[in-house]
Amino acid sequence: MPQQVKTLRVGLVGYGFASKVFHAPLIVSTEGLQLTTVSSSDASKVLADYPNVNVVATPSELMALTEIDLVVIPTPNETHHPLVKQALLAGKHVVVDKPFTVTLEEADELIALAKEKGLLLSVFHNRRWDGDFLTVAAMLKRGLVGRLTHFESHFDRFRPLVRDRWREKNAPGAGLWYDLGPHLVDQTIQLFGMPIGIYVDAMQARDNAQATDYCHAILRYADKRVSLHASALVGQEPPRFQLHGTKGSFQCFGLDPQEDDLKAGQTPGNRCDWGRASSTGKLTTYPDGETAQETVCPLIDGNYPAYYAGIRDAICEGKPNPVTAESARQTMQMLMLGLESMEKRAEVLVPTL
């Protein structure tokens, strides 16, 4: 493993949407991390935001730099495997955007290589730090809806026009199941572990769609059902989360504000209320079994900065990896089983160890 350092020098591969909006602002806001190099064919775009960084033309040039400790890879999904492999072979710790890879075999190869090299490999499942998700996890831990029987999670948008970008092309790793599905699936696994079976219905709903833009998954657990939904054609906001149990129900609306704040150029370093949602949740319980009692529930503040702080501490202090490659592999396994379910139009059982 590379020598431990107090300040980790970070190289960022590419400067597209994910790099500009998520990774670069979070990296520069994290004490102990220094964004030193970006690979991009458009240096002016990078230097307009970060005039003091070094810009190289290609990922290979970046990974050849001996001074880089950590390489961050927020690139199109089908490039994850070759770029992560290249970075690991160059002796770098790696953060890769979700989904981990396009296939389970690719994920397994990278996990084995990281272990062989003694390097940290982590996947940016940032929505483990969404405020509404943290709130849901806390409510389940406290048993506020009783024994949970149905959990529902939506990630819906209204985007009727098909855009000319790789996420919407007919290509490996494109479409909503690979774009938003990882968030929905990963959060579910964090709450409940792996299910018994999965059924996924998907389609191309928009005019001129080339990739999946609607998907609905049902995950079967022994004592509950989980419904996951993502669509590009939802014009009225459904609940983001709904929980139904033996004591009552909980629901909340709206997406965690951190993404929109990052898009607007705000960072965790320039506001004291980072991650605070303007919306609240509603808990409805029945203390006497018949009469509803409603409680307004403030949402826990979201905390995307915790991810990169965790990466720093894992590399420099040997603390736990905030998102292990093995846990991201579980999400990859569910994505692959979901594809099998779409093809068979039937539930697919989840293999047990």
pLDDT score of 15: 97
Which helix (H) or strand (E) segment holds residue 71: the answer is strand 70-73
Q: Which long-range contacts (CB under 8 A, 24 or more apart) does 135-142 make?
A: 135/252, 135/281, 135/297, 135/299, 135/300, 136/191, 136/241, 136/243, 136/250, 136/252, 137/190, 137/191, 138/300, 139/243, 139/250, 139/283, 139/297, 140/191, 140/243
d(CA 6, CA 197): 45
> How much is the CA Rg of the chain, to the nearest whole Å?
21
Considering the entire predicted model, what is its pTM? 0.94
Residue ranges of domains in the chain: 8-124, 128-302+334-349
pLDDT score of 4: 47
d(CA 186, CA 126): 10
- Topology of the domain comprising 128-302+334-349: Dihydrodipicolinate Reductase; domain 2 (3.30.360)
**Among 204, 142, 146, CA closest to 177:** 204
Pick the CATH number of 8-124 from 3.40.50.150, 3.40.50.300, 3.90.550.10, 3.40.50.720: 3.40.50.720
pLDDT tens, per residue, the chain with 353 residues? 444 447 999 999 999 999 999 999 999 999 999 999 999 999 999 999 999 999 999 999 999 999 999 999 999 999 999 999 999 999 999 999 999 999 999 999 999 999 999 999 999 999 999 999 999 999 999 999 999 999 999 999 999 999 988 788 888 878 899 999 999 999 999 999 999 999 999 999 999 999 999 999 999 999 999 999 999 999 999 999 999 999 999 999 999 999 999 999 999 988 889 999 999 999 999 988 889 999 999 999 999 999 999 999 999 999 999 999 999 999 999 999 999 999 999 999 999 86
